[in-house]
Amino acid sequence: MYTFKSLRKASKQPIADGARRIAILGNISTQFLAVAIRGYAALENLPLSVYDADYNQIEAQLLDPNSEVYSFVPNNILLWLGTDKLYEEFLDLPLENRSGFAESVLSKITMYWDLISQHCKATILQMNFTEIDDKVFGNYSCKVDLAFVFQIRKLNFILAEAMEQRKNVYPVDLLSVQLQLGTSTFYDAPLYYNAKMTVSTDALPYVAKAVIDVQKALIGRIKKCVILDLDNTLWGGVIGDEGIENIEIGELGRGHVFTDFQRWLKQLKECGIILCVCSKNNEDIAKKPFEEHNEMILRLSDIALFVANWEDKASNIRLIQKTLNISMDSIVFIDDNPFERNLVRQMIPEIEVPELPEDPALYLGYLQGQNYFETASFTGAGSDRTKLYQAEFERTKLMMSFESIDGYLESLEMLGEAKPFEESKFSRIAQLTQRSNQFNLRTVRYTDADIQSIASNPNYVTLYYTLRDKFGDHGLVGVIIMKKKNDDELFIDTWLMSCRVLKRGMEEYIVNCFMREAKNRGFKRIYGEYIPTPKNAMVKDIYKTMGFTEISENNYVMDVDKYEEKKIYIRSN
């Protein structure tokens, strides 16, 4: 972890143009946190401009529509009510009022949220609450509702429930930082009494990390895939030498450690992370435990891609990355062998390679401490994408058997659908705008709340696209947001597509549908723009390919009447 001193140095670097903006509001002093966040962002190469409001100005700033915070036009507002301050307020209440403390604090917080939503478009980052146990009744405090420890725990719980209802509020889990470091490291009493700062300088880098981790997820810098080594990573021992009866998993030897590690990985997979295997082994031997060992938690059906051979791991990882069609920086490679880790790091600098502790008992704690899997959305059950990828390999096999691509596409029996945004899809649409990097013409990121407001705004024409074929359902794979320039003209604000469905004619299907939609609504012209990023070169010429006319660099137009529908093999539902 960075030291506060190094963050302080980094915080002085100039901020690049186009930086995101965050405003910090607290009932305690936030000056050092602002420095730490600025520095951490700079070191993580995430340009961030930070506005730090004066201490205890939350209400004044949020009530005044012309306040400094609103004038700053932040992307995010970080709200931080320090437990130390709340504790003082709690004790100043008459005893009989203390049992309603958690509710009263929460109603103040939801009032802040409402004010923010009324006055600006900022997404809210809400710190939860560290704990203070003043031992007023000792252990017995836990069951007395007028004890502070009872109220602060209740507050964290009802805050979580309230956030669940708000699409534009994202938690920053300060409590977990306190738990990770321990209160004696987290808190510095002289610093609090001297400067009203409730977090020690040793703990500030960890708090800054939590805030920046949320920022990264909001702009789509997330991990999507874990590539796993086998011997001494997923089980103890070497399968090729010791055989299936002697590897440590379940009851045997250190097996419990590996079983728990697999349990955690299985949960990641169920929540949408893709698991792959990359092992130096003979394939049939490597697969055996997954098929035959009854104490293995992970089964072959949990692994999207299984690569076991004697090639070097960097080449195998490249193969996996290409097949999954995701970017290298969204992959975590887990291997117990320092030699393999270094080789992969050297050959593929973008990939994340955790420096696993030597003792397998420490793997889990270490990996969880890194917080690799921060996300800004969760669409619930059905996030498991393993089956989708497995179906994809079936398609690839089928494609090999056809002489022409047309024959293959026809045999897929594809069914598409294009519909205006509807409520049940808002989360998935927002998620796609946050995560799609390659097939994304302008890379505009939207939150759930943004999508909701666009869907109900008559100045927008929206379409989401789904696709399925005989092997399975791809789900929602394309998004179009068109903004009215005037009664005759539309501008394509967002066009993105999941790379899973490339080369199926889906691009053409998308254009056919939005042209038809525009025509039905009486529009004459559609404008498109391509904004280059380091990742979206694949769609650089797509408007040209679709028959649009270039009017200036990266800007295109199409007359709705002149558009000729492209030939495709996707039938509409």
Partner 1 sequence: MERNEILKRLSEIAKDVFDNDEVELAEATTADDVEEWDSLSHLNLISDAEDEFGITFTLAEISDSKNVEELVDAIIKHLGDK
- Closest to 481 (Cα-Cα) out of 440, 534, 524: 440
Binding-site member from 136, 144, 195, 252 for partner 1 (CB under 8 A): 195
Footprint (CB under 8 A) of partner 1, residues 201-220: 201
Evaluate the CA torsion angle 503, 535, 477, 495 in order and state its sign. negative
C-beta atoms surrounding 342 within 10 Å: 12
CB of residue 31 to partner 1, shortest distance in Å: 6
Sheet holding 549-552, edge to edge: 549-552, 555-559, 525-529, 489-497, 472-484, 460-469, 414-419, 570-572
With b for 16 or more beta-carbon neighbours within 10 A and e for fewer, the 239-273 pattern comes to: beeeeeeebbbbebeebebbbebbeebeebbeebb
Among 65, 88, 160, 193, binds partner 1 (CB under 8 A): 193
374, two tokens: 């921060």
The span from the CA of 207 to the CA of 557, in Å, is: 47
Residue closer to partner 1 (CB basis): 35 or 492: 35
Whichever of 194 and 315 has its CB closer to partner 1, that residue is 194
Give the shortest CB-215-to-partner 1 separation in angstroms: 24
Site string for partner 1, 471-500 (x = CB under 8 A): ------------------------------
2 binds partner 1 (CB under 8 A): no
Could you give the 3-state DSSP secondary structure of residue 115?
Answer: helix
Residue 235 as a binder of partner 1 (CB under 8 A): the answer is no
Q: How far apart are CA 239 and CA 230, in angstroms?
A: 9
Binding-residue total with partner 1 (CB under 8 A): 14
Least Å distance, CB 195 to partner 1, is 6
Q: Which of 97, 107, 183, 194 binds partner 1 (CB under 8 A)?
A: 194
Q: Backbone phi, then psi, for 559, in 5-degree steps?
A: -80, 125
State how far the Cα of 242 lies from the Cα of 21, in Å rounded to an integer: 56
187 binds partner 1 per the rule CB under 8 A: no
SS3 call for 235: strand
Q: DSSP assignment, residue 443?
A: -
Among residues 189, 405, 444, 537, which is the contact residue for partner 1, using CB under 8 A?
189
Pick 94 or 190: Cβ nearer partner 1: 190
The yes or no reply on residue 191 touching partner 1 (CB under 8 A) is yes
Q: Binding to partner 1 (CB under 8 A): which residues in 7-46?
A: 8, 12, 31-32
Least separation, in Å, of the C-beta of 198 and partner 1? Answer: 14
409: which residues sit within 8 A by CB, 6+ positions away? 504, 505, 569
The 357-396 site mask, x for binding partner 1 (CB under 8 A), equals ----------------------------------------
56 binds partner 1 (CB under 8 A): no
User: Residues in the site for partner 1, rule: CB under 8 A?
Assistant: 4-5, 8, 12, 31-32, 189-191, 193-195, 197, 201
